């Protein structure tokens, strides 16, 4: 960027957002916006895409259009911008007719720098006429992967955006997405008809996220143990089924955690209420299916837990990406078990069967299931591999990772105790499978091994087997986990269908004949270590003051009916609790406080800090 442009960008980001520097690629993306060169900007969630289309219209004093797929996304962004004194509005189906007329009049008068619209609204004849009148020069397409059917979130209405370039030949089009695959990127460029676009691809690694992947032994207790490290902080717990989200939310609530369930089966009202409560920090934890995601912009999510294995690395990356969007440290813990793989497979097949009944396209659906199973296997491999998580993820998304030790994953932090020899126990398990004739499911085999005194065991005479009760010293949950781990490692087979039974394969026989050792993972969640990142970002922060300021933020947010992070991000609160400014002027040096917030929220903040530190408020006296 040349000198004058750099200078005016600096001025603008300082004034509106209280930022000092641009993040990687933001400068290039802003330049494309200023110079009207089409662009495709690919950055991971939290990378800072929005700033790239928010800055150019300020510099050029023009009105730009942002196309966004969800009302909640638009609303949150507009709330956030307005809190910074940035002139922006949104037009969507949630805006009533009189309000719409008012907004349209202001749009026509050129009062806004950004107008957010849904694709349907954008292409309506009246809005088209308005845009032609204003001679719109730039369009930003947010979540641009929605235009591609290869993406994980295809929206047919996005297809219509293909006409933009023809209808507004003088305008540039800028596409933004977090989707990493080449196929989707190419599709976006083609569908939108971008001409010689500047393609900017960011680094996908998120150094502020700590990844931990653990075998599930006692799911509920493990989830609680992780959340215990994040008391009264925001967390999301992802589950596979709707029922599990509800059970999890109930269990968390009974442990004194402010939690709610969220899934596609709830009505829109209920979902909105939960989203709002989460955004306004009235609840800390949401137990959700994948449905909870887009539209959740709370930037201070400190923890994302996968109570069960996600169905693909793409989903995992996206869902963990919701943690630490404010750039501060956050923890992502995934629990997995071979049971999850089987459950997903079963769900894929059932879904495909239902679709077949509707459409009768057997081949296509067999193909879809095969592709899903392939992604599932890759996810499973990621979980089981004992290699750096940051490296594994970067490489999966086609990017090199150069650090020998990331310092932010269970493997590099030395928490994985490695594999311990479990050959003896494994032989006992396998031999029990043989004794019951390879005709029973996991529950029954575990019953026999544990010496359970049940009618079924007695009735079948299985209490008389040489393997009955042979592992009675091992806790049941542990035994079940070991069976799943053996399946995971290909040392046992489990049939599919309604009543799956476990059977032996060649590898099992090698173990039984003493030709093969078995090593199973032993890991410990409780010993999670603090990362350097964690220590540094809390450096010098008065934690009590931080908590006090969080309450203040919550009060202001409630009063103004906006999400809490719109008022201040966690990074801002920490900086306040670190520097403890005593005058409004000093607020100018605080991260994330621009001119508007300085005058608008400054007095309240200074007063609170003064009260907290027991000093005189120099602004009041």
Phi, psi angles (nearest 5°) of residue 522 = -125, 115
Phi, psi angles (nearest 5°) of residue 565 = -70, -15
Q: Distance between CA atoms of 74 and 71, rounded to whole angstroms?
A: 5
As measured in angstroms, the least distance from the Cβ of 532 to Zn ion is 13
The two three-digit tokens of residue 204, written as one number: 């996908």
Q: Radius of gyration (Cα) for the chain, nearest Å?
A: 27
Strands 519-523 and 416-421: antiparallel
Q: Is 388 in the site for Zn ion (CB under 5 A)?
A: yes
Which residue of 49, 145, 311, 389 would you call a contact of ligand ADP, by CB under 6 A? 49
As measured in angstroms, the least distance from the Cβ of 284 to ligand ADP is 19
Q: Which does 23 bind (CB under 5 to 8 A by kind): Zn ion, ligand ADP, none?
A: ligand ADP
The two three-digit tokens of residue 270, written as one number: 């209920």
Which residue of 192, 409, 482, 557 would you call a contact of Zn ion, by CB under 5 A? 409
As measured in angstroms, the least distance from the Cβ of 211 to Zn ion is 7
Show Cβ contacts of residue 9 under 8 Å, excluding neighbours closer than 6 positions.
Answer: 1, 22, 27, 30, 55, 59
Q: Is 406 in the site for Zn ion (CB under 5 A)?
A: yes
Query: Closest Cα to residue 427, out of 515, 337, 350?
Result: 515
Which residue of 75, 311, 325, 494 would you call a contact of ligand ADP, by CB under 6 A? 325
Q: Distance between CA atoms of 511 and 82, rounded to whole angstroms?
A: 66
Q: Is 285 in the site for ligand ADP (CB under 6 A)?
A: no
| Strand partners of residue 212 | 333
As measured in angstroms, the least distance from the Cβ of 517 to ligand ADP is 46
Contact 158, 184 (CB under 8 A): no
As measured in angstroms, the least distance from the Cβ of 326 to ligand ADP is 5
Query: End-to-end distance of the chain based on CA atoms, in angstroms?
Result: 46
Q: Is 63 in the site for ligand ADP (CB under 6 A)?
A: no
| Residue number, 142 or 205, with CB nearest to Zn ion | 205
DSSP 8-state assignment for residue 135: T
Q: Which does 248 bind (CB under 5 to 8 A by kind): ligand ADP, Zn ion, none?
A: none
Q: Is 326 in the site for ligand ADP (CB under 6 A)?
A: yes
Q: Where in 475-514 is the site for ligand ADP (CB under 6 A)?
A: none
Which residue of 45, 191, 317, 481 would you call a contact of ligand ADP, by CB under 6 A? 45
As measured in angstroms, the least distance from the Cβ of 43 to ligand ADP is 5
| Residue number, 29 or 393, with CB nearest to Zn ion | 393
Phi, psi angles (nearest 5°) of residue 124 = -70, 145
Q: Which does 380 bind (CB under 5 to 8 A by kind): Zn ion, ligand ADP, none?
A: none
Size of the site for Zn ion (CB under 5 A): 5
Which H or E run contains 341?
Answer: helix 338-359
Q: With CB under 5 A as the contact rule, which of the stretches 165-173, 380-388, 490-498, 524-532 interacts with Zn ion?
A: 380-388
Q: Distance between CA atoms of 502 and 431, rounded to whole angstroms?
A: 12
Q: Which does 246 bind (CB under 5 to 8 A by kind): ligand ADP, Zn ion, none?
A: none
Q: Which does 409 bind (CB under 5 to 8 A by kind): ligand ADP, Zn ion, none?
A: Zn ion
As measured in angstroms, the least distance from the Cβ of 13 to ligand ADP is 6
Q: In 253-289, which positions are buried (b, 16+ CB within 10 angstroms) versus exposed (e)?
A: beeebebbbbbeebeeeebeebbeebbbbbbbbbbbb
Q: Is 299 in the site for ligand ADP (CB under 6 A)?
A: yes
Q: Is 412 in the site for Zn ion (CB under 5 A)?
A: yes
Whose tokens are 């490296």? That residue is 391
As measured in angstroms, the least distance from the Cβ of 312 to ligand ADP is 20
| Residue number, 86 or 168, with CB nearest to ligand ADP | 86
Q: How many CB atoms lie within 10 A of CB 131?
A: 21
Q: Which does 406 bind (CB under 5 to 8 A by kind): ligand ADP, Zn ion, none?
A: Zn ion
Q: Is 14 in the site for ligand ADP (CB under 6 A)?
A: no
Q: Is 210 in the site for Zn ion (CB under 5 A)?
A: no
Q: Distance between CA atoms of 553 and 569, rounded to whole angstroms?
A: 9
Q: Is 202 in the site for ligand ADP (CB under 6 A)?
A: no
| Residue number, 280 or 331, with CB nearest to Zn ion | 331
As measured in angstroms, the least distance from the Cβ of 300 to Zn ion is 24
Contact 303, 323 (CB under 8 A): yes
| Residue number, 51 or 226, with CB nearest to ligand ADP | 51
Q: CA torsion sign, 416 to 422 to 428 to 431? A: positive
Which residue of 16, 19, 262, 336 would you call a contact of ligand ADP, by CB under 6 A? 19
Contact 262, 287 (CB under 8 A): yes
170 three-class SS: coil
- Chain residues binding ligand ADP by CB under 6 A are 19, 22-23, 26, 43, 45-51, 299, 325-326, 569
- Chain residues binding Zn ion by CB under 5 A are 388, 390, 406, 409, 412
């Amino acid at each position: 960027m040349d000198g004058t442009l750099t200078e005016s960008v600096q001025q603008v980001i300082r004034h509106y957002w209280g930022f000092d520097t641009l993040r990687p690629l933001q400068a290039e993306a802003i330049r494309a916006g200023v110079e009207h060169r089409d662009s495709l900007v690919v950055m991971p969630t939290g990378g800072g895409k929005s700033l790239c289309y928010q800055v150019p219209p300020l510099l050029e004093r023009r009105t730009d259009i942002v196309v966004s797929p969800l009302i909640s996304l638009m609303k949150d962004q507009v709330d956030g911008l307005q809190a910074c004194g940035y002139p922006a509005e949104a037009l969507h189906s949630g805006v009533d007719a009189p309000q719409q007329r008012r907004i349209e009049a202001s749009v026509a008068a050129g009062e806004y720098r950004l107008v957010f619209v849904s694709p349907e609204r954008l292409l309506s004849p009246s809005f088209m006429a308005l845009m032609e009148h204003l001679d719109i020069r730039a369009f930003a397409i947010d979540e641009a992967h929605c235009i591609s059917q290869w993406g994980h979130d295809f929206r047919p209405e996005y297809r219509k955006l293909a006409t933009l370039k023809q209808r507004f030949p003088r305008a540039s089009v800028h596409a933004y997405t977090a989707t990493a695959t080449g196929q989707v990127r190419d599709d976006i460029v083609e569908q939108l008809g971008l001409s010689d676009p500047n393609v900017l691809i960011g680094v996908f690694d998120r150094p502020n996220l700590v990844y931990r992947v653990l075998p599930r032994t006692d799911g509920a207790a493990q989830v609680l143990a992780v959340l215990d490290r994040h008391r009264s902080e925001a967390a999301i717990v992802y589950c596979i089924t709707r029922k599990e989200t509800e059970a999890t939310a109930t269990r968390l609530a009974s442990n004194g955690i402010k939690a709610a369930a969220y899934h596609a089966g709830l009505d829109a009202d209920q979902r909105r209420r939960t989203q709002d409560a989460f955004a306004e920090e009235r609840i800390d934890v949401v137990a959700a299916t994948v449905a909870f995601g887009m539209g959740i912009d709370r930037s201070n999510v400190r923890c994302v837990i996968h109570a069960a294995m996600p169905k693909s690395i793409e989903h995992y990356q996206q869902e963990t990406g919701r943690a630490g969007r404010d750039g501060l440290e956050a923890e992502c813990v995934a629990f997995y078990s071979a049971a999850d793989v089987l459950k997903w497979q079963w769900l894929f097949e059932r879904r495909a069967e239902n679709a077949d009944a509707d459409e009768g396209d057997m081949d296509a659906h067999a193909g879809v299931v095969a592709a899903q199973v392939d992604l599932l296997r890759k996810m499973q491999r990621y979980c089981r591999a004992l290699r750096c998580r940051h490296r594994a993820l970067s490489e999966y998304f086609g990017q090199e990772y150069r650090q020998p030790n990331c310092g932010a994953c269970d493997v590099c932090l030395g928490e994985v105790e490695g594999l311990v020899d479990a050959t003896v126990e494994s032989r006992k398990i396998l031999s029990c499978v043989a004794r019951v004739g390879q005709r029973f499911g996991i529950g029954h085999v575990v019953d026999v091994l544990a010496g359970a005194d049940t009618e079924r065991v007695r009735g079948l005479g299985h209490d008389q087997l040489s393997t009955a009760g042979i592992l009675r010293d091992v806790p049941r949950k542990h035994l079940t986990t070991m069976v799943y781990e053996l399946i995971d490692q290909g040392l046992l087979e489990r049939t599919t269908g309604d009543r799956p039974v476990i059977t032996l394969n060649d590898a099992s026989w090698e173990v039984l004949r003493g030709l093969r050792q078995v090593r199973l993972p032993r890991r410990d969640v409780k010993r999670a270590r603090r990362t350097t990142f964690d220590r540094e970002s809390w450096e010098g922060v008065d934690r009590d003051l931080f908590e006090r300021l969080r309450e203040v933020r919550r009060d202001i947010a409630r009063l103004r009916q906006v999400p809490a992070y719109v008022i201040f991000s966690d990074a801002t609160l920490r900086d306040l609790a670190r520097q403890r400014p005593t005058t409004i002027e000093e607020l100018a040096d605080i991260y994330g406080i621009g001119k508007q917030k300085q005058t608008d929220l400054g007095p309240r903040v200074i007063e609170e800090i003064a009260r907290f530190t027991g000093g005189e408020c120099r602004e009041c006296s």
